[in-house]
Amino acid sequence: MFFGLFHGIASPLAGSQPLAAAGLDYAGLGRALLPEAALAAGALAVLAVDIALLRAAGTALRFRAAAAIAAVAVVAALAFCLQTGSSGEVFGGVLVLDSLGTAARAALLCLTLVVLGVSAGAAVPRRPAEYCAIILFATAGFTLMAAAQQLLLAFLALELASLSLYVLAGFDLSRPESAEAAMKYFLLGAISSAFLLFGFSLIYGLTGTIDLTQIAIVLARQGPSPLLTVALVMVLVAFGFKAAAAPFHLWAPDVYEGAPAPSAALIASGSKLAGLVLFTRLLWPGLGEAAGDVSSAHFGAGWLPVLAILSGASLLLGNLAALVQTSLRRLLAYSAIAHAGALLLGVIVVGSSGPGPVFYYAATYALATAGAFGIVGILERTGGSLQIAGLAGLSRRSPPLAGCLLVFILSLAGVPPLAGFFGKFAVFAAALKLGGVAGPAGWLAVAAILLSAVALYYYLIVVKQAFVAPAPANPAPITVSPVAAATLVVAAAAIIVLGVFPSLLLGLF
Amino acid sequence: MRLLPWTIYLSLAGAMLSLAAGRRSAAAARWVALGTAAAAWGLVLAAATGFSPSALPQTLVDLDWIPSMGGRYHLAADGISMTLLVLTGLAATAGILFSWNIGERTGEFFAFYLTLIAGVYGVFLSADALLFFVFYELAIVPKYFLIAIWGSTNREYGAMKLALYSFAGSALVLAGLLWAYATGGAHSFALADLASAAARFPAGQQVAMFALVFFGFAVLAGLFPFHTWAPTGHVAAPTGASMLLAGVVMKLGAYGCLRVAMPLFPAGLAFWQPAIAWLAIIGILYAGLVALVQDDCKFVIGYSSVSHMGFVMLGLAAANPRAVAGAVLQMFSHGVIAGLLFAVVGRMVYDRTHTRRLGDLRLLALYRLLPFAATVFVIAGLASMGFPGFSGFPAELSILMGAWQASPLWAAAAALGVLIAAAFTLRVVQLTFFGGSGSRETPAASAALPPISWPERTGALLLIGAAVVIGLKPDLLLNWIVPSLQSPLFKAVIKGGAP
C-alpha cells in the first residue's frame, strides 16, 4: 500500500517500527477518516444534485440547496469526529487523533458551518454548487492537516486545502480584484509550497523517514547539521506564509480585499487554524530537537529564535499598518498579521505550556474573524465595496448586525470578558513563564500587551463608525437572510460564552 | 451580605432590559434603569446594615473559574469595598436621575451605563486579580460609547483619548501582573497568593513590577502627569457619564493602586513613595491653578477632580493608617461632591442655557432664574472646598494629618492646594450664578428656562444628604475602613498605629 510502501523504504530502524508490531489497521483508518469521507461524499452530492435536478433553477435556489447539503455533510462529519474522539495514533502513526487533533477538527468543522451560514447572506456566487463543493474539499484538507503526523500526508492535506482556497479566492468573476487576489495567492502559495516540499525532502534525506515521531528520534541522535538548518528555514518560510506572518504577509491584504467575503472568511479562519495546528505538530513533536531557546537573552540556536523574530515583526507591522487603513477588509488583514504575531508566540510556548493556549487563541480568533467577514459580506451585498466609513449608522440601520460586529471586533481587540482577551492572556502568561522578561519570549509578550493598546485605536474606529457616526441620508435597506443572521448571533454568543467560561476550551488539554 | 454579588448580575440584567425597553419607549428604559440602579443600591445598603467590619475580606462567592490558570471567581467585601459599593450605588442612582432628559437612543444609553456600573461593582467586589482585571476592563468600553454618542464638546476626541489612556494603563497593569504571576511561581491570581509569590522577588524586580501596576492604575486615578484624559473626558461626557467618571471610575484606579499594587509589592512602594507623593502634590497644585483660569465651568470642575484625586493619591503614598483611611474617605467624598458639581453645571445649567462659558453665564445672573441650582451649587462648592460639616473636611484633614506624619513638607505643600481649591471654587460659584449685570430685569430669552425637574431635585438631595451625613459623622465609614487596613495583606505596606 501507499503508506506502507513509504514506511518500507523509510525503515532504517526496523526494530522501532511501530507498523511491524501493530500491523495495518484499515478499519481504524476508515473510522478515523469518516469525517473526511462525509465531506467528500457531501461535495459529490452537492454537485450531483445540482447537475441532476437543479440545472434549470435560479442561482439563489441552487445555492440554497447546495449550502444545505453541504451543511448536512459538515454536521455529519462533526458527529463522526466527536464520536471517534481522541483515539490516539491511527494506522501506525500516519494520523494522530490526540486532544489537539480532535479539538482542531471539531473547531474547523464548526468554522466551516459558520462560513456556509454567513455565505447565505453574501452575494450569491455564480456557480453555487461548485462553490459549496470546493468549500467542503477545503475543509477536508483542513481536518486532515489537523491530524496529519507524517510529512507526506501533511503536504497532501495542505495542498488539497490550498488549491481549493486559490479557486475560492478567485470565484467572483465579475470583479477583477477577485482574480488578482487569486493570482497573488496562488503564486505566493505555490512558491511557499515549493519551499515546504524542498524542506520536507531535506528532512527525509537527513533522517530517512517521513514519520514525525521517527524524525524526532533520529534528530535526537544526529544532533544539528547545516542541512537541517536549510530544511528548517524552508519549513519556516512556508509556515510564515500560511500564518500571514511578516515578512511573508504581502499576500494577505490583497487576498482579504479581493476574495469573495465567504472565501476570505474561510482563508482567514479555517485555513489559519489548520495551518497553525499542522506546523505546531511539525515543529514541536517533529523538529523539537532543533527548537533552540528563547527563554533568556542568550539565544539558543534553533527555530524558536526565528519564530520569535517573525512574531515580533508581525506584531509591529500588523498593528502599525492597521492604523492607517480605510477599507474594513484591509484592516482585518493587517489585524490578522498582528494576530499572527501573537499566534507565533503561542506556538513558541507549546513546548512548555502545551497546545492549550495557542489553540484557544487561534480558535476564538478564527471565529471572530469569520464573523466579521460574514458581516462584510452582508453589507457589501447591499452597498458594494466596503470602506470603514461605510459602516456609518449601522447601529440604527440594523441593530443586531451592529451588536454582532461589536462583539467580533472587541474580541479581536482583546477586551474582556470576550474570548479574544483570554486567548491573549493565556498565551502571554505562558510566554512570561518561560523566563520572565529575561528573554525574547517575555519581551514579545510585554510588547504584545502594550501594542494591544495601539490596536484598540483602530478597532474602536470601526465600532465608532457603526455606533457613533450618523447614518447617511437615504441608506439602502440592509436585508439579512435569516440563516446568516442566526449564524452570526450564534457565533457572537459563542465568543461571549467562551470568554466567560474559557475553561470550556482550555480544559480540553 | 450574601446578596452583594447580585449587584453585578442585576446591573447586567438591567442593561439588557433597558436596551429592550428602549425600543418601545424612552420612559420605559429610564424607569428600568432607575429601578435597577436603585435596587442594586438597596442591596448594598441592606448588606451595609448587617456588615460587621473585620480585617479580612468576607468571602461572598468562591468558585473555580479557569483552573488551568488558577483564576477563581472569588468575590469578597471588606470595609473599603463596602464604602465604595455604597458610593457606587449612590452615584449610579443619582447619575440616572440626572440623565432623565436623554431622549436620543435612550435604551442604548442606559444599557452602556448599567454595563459600566456592573463592571464597577465587580471591581470593588473582586478578590482575585484576574477577575478584578476583567471587571476593570468591562468598564472601559461603555465609557467610550457614553461619551462618543451622547457627549458634547469635542466628544469623539475626548472619548477616544479616555479609552486609549485607560486601555494603555490597563495594559501596563496586565504586563506587571502577568510578570509577577508567571515568574513568581504563583498558582493562582488570589491576591494573597500573588503577594506571597511577589515577596520572594528581589527588590529591584519588585520596584519595576510595582511601577507597571501602580502607574497603570494611576492613569485612571488621574495622577499627574497621566491626568490629561480627565478634563477633556469629563467635559465631553454627558452629565450622567461625567458623574460616573468622576464619581466612581477615577476611584477604580485609586482602588486598584490600594488593593493590588501596594500589597503585592511593598518594596516597590518604599522605592516609589516620594515620587508618588510629589506627583500627587504637583497634581493638586497644578490642576488647582489651571482650574483657576478656565473659562468653561465644566473644565473648572474637571480640573478640580484631578486636584481632589491628588489628595487620594497623596494619602495612599503616605501609607500610614490615618492617611490611607483618609484617602478612602476622600474617594467617597469626592465621588459624591464631584457628582453634585457636574450635575449642576452639566444638567441644571448647560442643558438649559446651552452655554458653559463663564463669560456668558455671568451676564445671566442665574441665581434668580434657577434658585434651586444656585443653592445646590453653593452647598457643593462649600463641600468641595473642604468646609467643616461636609464629607470633604474629615477626609482631607485626615489625609493631611497622615501626610504630616510621613513628611511635614508634603502636608504643607498639599495644604496650599486647599487654599487654591477655595479660590477656584468661589470663582466658579460666583461667575456661574452671581455674576449679575446689576439690572433687576432678567433677559427675556432666559426667562423661559424650564424649571428644575423632580429627578434633578431628588438626585441633588440624595448627594447633598450623603455629603452632610458623612461630614457630620465620618465614623460611619471610618469604622468600616480602619479595621480593613489591619488586614495581613496591608501589614508590610501600611505602617504605624491605628489612627
Mean pLDDT by 10 residues, chain A (509 residues): 37 43 76 93 94 87 93 95 87 88 94 94 87 95 93 94 94 89 93 94 92 90 88 92 90 92 94 94 86 80 89 94 92 94 93 90 95 92 79 86 94 92 92 85 92 92 89 80 93 94 87
* C-alpha atoms less than 13 angstroms from C-alpha of B153 in its C-beta half-sphere: 19
Give, as one character, the DSSP assignment of residue A91.
G
Strands B71-77, A95-97: pairing kind: unpaired
Q: Are B185 and A460 in contact (CB under 8 A)?
A: no
Grid coordinates given for A198: 524542498
What is the CA angle A99-A100-A102, rounded to 5? Answer: 65
Paired residues of B357 in beta bridges = B296
Grid coordinates given for B396: 482631607
H-helix segments, B249-391: 250-256, 262-264, 266-292, 297-318, 321-342, 351-353, 358-364, 366-369, 371-385
Cross-chain Cβ contact B149/A468 below 8 Å: yes
What is the CA angle B257-B262-B264, rounded to 5? Answer: 120
Give, as one character, the DSSP assignment of residue B128.
B
Cross-chain Cβ contact B137/A468 below 8 Å: no
Mutate to test the interface with B, among A503, A505, A506 (most CBs of B within 10 A): A503
Nearest to A144 by CA among A239, A274, A295, A15: A274
Cross-chain Cβ contact B69/A426 below 8 Å: yes
Mutate to test the interface with A, among B166, B167, B206, B226 (most CBs of A within 10 A): B167
- Cβ-based contacts of A356 with chain B (< 8 Å): 68
- Cβ-based contacts of A417 with chain B (< 8 Å): 134, 138
Domains held by chain B: number: 1
- Contacts of range A31-34, beta carbons closer than 8 Å, 24 or more positions apart: A31/A84, A31/A87, A32/A84, A32/A87, A32/A90, A32/A91, A32/A95, A32/A97, A32/A147, A33/A95, A34/A77, A34/A80, A34/A81, A34/A84
Kind plus residue range of the DSSP H or E element containing B71: strand B71-77
State the smallest CA–CA distance between residue B161 and chain A in angstroms. 10
Q: What is the pTM of this model?
A: 0.92
**Is B499 part of a structural domain of the chain?**
no
Which of A395, A410, A426 lies nearest to residue B141, judging by beta carbons? A410
Work out the end-to-end distance of chain B between its first and last CA atoms, rounded to an integer number of angstroms.
27
Give, as one character, the DSSP assignment of residue B75.
E
Cross-chain Cβ contact B163/A395 below 8 Å: no
CB-neighbour burial class of residue A43 (10 A; exposed 0-12, middle 13-18, buried 19+):
buried
- Cβ-based contacts of A452 with chain B (< 8 Å): 167, 171
CB-neighbour burial class of residue A226 (10 A; exposed 0-12, middle 13-18, buried 19+):
exposed
Residue type, B42: G
**CA pair distance B397, B280, nearest whole angstrom:** 16
**Is B60 part of a structural domain of the chain?**
yes
**Predicted local confidence at residue A14, as pLDDT:** 39
HEC assignment per residue over A186-201: HHHHHHHHHHHHHHHH
**Predicted local confidence at residue A168, as pLDDT:** 94
Task: Give the structural domain span for B412.
Answer: 6-439+447-490
Nearest to B11 by CA among B46, B47, B50, B38: B38
**CA pair distance A391, A402, nearest whole angstrom:** 9
**CA pair distance B155, B145, nearest whole angstrom:** 10
* Backbone dihedral angles phi then psi of residue B128, each to the nearest 5 degrees: -120, 130
If DSSP codes are grouped into helix, strand and coil, which group holds residue A345? helix
State the smallest CA–CA distance between residue A108 and chain B in angstroms. 24
Please compute Rg for chain B using Cα positions: 21
**CA pair distance A136, A112, nearest whole angstrom:** 8
**Predicted local confidence at residue B438, as pLDDT:** 52
If DSSP codes are grouped into helix, strand and coil, which group holds residue B64? strand
**Is B342 part of a structural domain of the chain?**
yes
**CA pair distance B292, B461, nearest whole angstrom:** 27
**Predicted local confidence at residue B53, as pLDDT:** 83
With CA atoms as reference, the chain B residue closest to A502 would be: B66
Burial A265-295 (b: 16+ CB within 10 A, else e): bbbbbbbbbbbbbbbbbbbbbbbbbbbbbbb
**Predicted local confidence at residue A224, as pLDDT:** 83
**Is B497 part of a structural domain of the chain?**
no
Cross-chain Cβ contact B179/A460 below 8 Å: no
Mutate to test the interface with B, among A412, A425, A457 (most CBs of B within 10 A): A425
Query: Maximum distance among all alpha carbons in chain B?
Result: 74
**CA pair distance B127, B182, nearest whole angstrom:** 19
* Backbone dihedral angles phi then psi of residue B76, each to the nearest 5 degrees: -150, 160
| Inter-helix orientation angle A482-500/A419-433, to 10° | 40
Cross-chain Cβ contact A507/B145 below 8 Å: no
Grid coordinates given for B284: 493638586
**Predicted local confidence at residue B446, as pLDDT:** 54
- Cβ-based contacts of A498 with chain B (< 8 Å): none
What's the pLDDT tens digit per position in B369-387? 788 888 888 898 989 888 8
With CA atoms as reference, the chain A residue closest to B181 would be: A429
What's the pLDDT tens digit per position in B184-216? 777 888 888 888 887 788 888 889 999 999 999
**Predicted local confidence at residue A297, as pLDDT:** 77
Q: Look-up: residue for cell 443653592?
A: B375
Per this entry, what is the length of chain B? 499
Cross-chain Cβ contact B179/A449 below 8 Å: no
**CA pair distance B131, B63, nearest whole angstrom:** 12
**CA pair distance A146, A105, nearest whole angstrom:** 6
Q: How far is CA A119 from the centre of its chain?
A: 18
Q: Are B100 and B91 in contact (CB under 8 A)?
A: no
Q: Are B312 and B365 in contact (CB under 8 A)?
A: no
**CA pair distance A296, B447, nearest whole angstrom:** 73
**CA pair distance B82, B332, nearest whole angstrom:** 11
Nearest to B45 by CA among B474, B466, B341: B466
- Low-confidence stretches of chain B (pLDDT < 70) are 436-447, 496-499
Give, as one character, the DSSP assignment of residue A89.
E
Grid coordinates given for A506: 482550555
* Backbone dihedral angles phi then psi of residue A174, each to the nearest 5 degrees: -80, -15
Residue ranges with strand state E in A309-372: none
Mutate to test the interface with A, among B178, B200, B201 (most CBs of A within 10 A): B178
Cross-chain Cβ contact B178/A425 below 8 Å: yes
**Is B1 part of a structural domain of the chain?**
no
**Is B71 part of a structural domain of the chain?**
yes
**Is B379 part of a structural domain of the chain?**
yes
**CA pair distance A106, B71, nearest whole angstrom:** 26
Cross-chain Cβ contact A425/B67 below 8 Å: no
**CA pair distance B217, B207, nearest whole angstrom:** 15
Give, as one character, the DSSP assignment of residue A293.
B
Residue ranges with strand state E in A274-418: none
A506 near B CB under 8 A: yes
A126 near B CB under 8 A: no
Q: Are A36 and A78 in contact (CB under 8 A)?
A: no
**CA pair distance A362, A266, nearest whole angstrom:** 13
- Cβ-based contacts of B67 with chain A (< 8 Å): 503, 507
Which residues, other chains included, contact A54 with Cβ-Cβ below 8 Å and sequence gap of 6+?
A61, A62, A65, A129
A445 near B CB under 8 A: yes
**Is B496 part of a structural domain of the chain?**
no
Cis peptide leading into residue B225 (ω within 30°): yes
How far is the CA of A380 from the CAs of A395, A477, B224, B232, in angstroms? Answer: 16, 12, 47, 37
**CA pair distance A359, A382, nearest whole angstrom:** 35
Query: Maximum distance among all alpha carbons in chain A?
Result: 77
How far is the CA of A493 from the CAs of A113, A403, A497, B30, B483, in angstroms? Answer: 15, 11, 6, 27, 43
Grid coordinates given for A416: 474582556
**Predicted local confidence at residue B69, as pLDDT:** 83
Cross-chain Cβ contact A450/B172 below 8 Å: yes
**CA pair distance B481, B470, nearest whole angstrom:** 13
Which of A395, A422, A432 lies nearest to residue B178, judging by beta carbons? A432
What is the CA angle B476-B395-B380, rounded to 5? Answer: 95
**Predicted local confidence at residue B168, as pLDDT:** 92
